[in-house]
Amino acid sequence: MKNIIKTDKAPAAIGPYSQAVEVKGMIYTSGVIPVNPATGEIPERVEAQADQAFSNLRNLLEAAGAGMDQVVKTTVFIKEMKDFGVINEIYARYFPEPYPARSCVEVARLPKDVLLEIEAIAAK
């Protein structure tokens, strides 16, 4: 049985998908982008976008009854690989050691033309 996770403290789905799904104690998030859920605004700079995206992810996990310390795997999609270092610095503020496994890939384009998107798998 799957439990659908939904919160207004993270951006709403902009298509036919759920924000997150829990199955047998595992939480699978959809991609989370740096949209302020209260205003719909997107920060301009990559630092602010990373902070907003990781904050949104934390809020989504909390809605599922989990935290950033329970994340076992992330995938980070970035628009420009040159932003890798800056994104790493902000990522380290949100994820405690030992860090989750991670993939990071540069992509041609992301929804709403944001600079990064993150998805995660967490174990409750």
Q: At what angle do helices 46-63 and 84-94 cross, to 10 degrees?
A: 30
Peptide bond just before 111 cis, omega within 30 deg = no
Contact 64, 20 (CB under 8 A): yes
Is 11 assigned a catalytic role? no
Contacts of 109 (CB under 8 A, 6+ apart): 79
Identify the active-site residue in 63, 104, 110, 121.
104
Catalytic residues, by residue number, are: 104
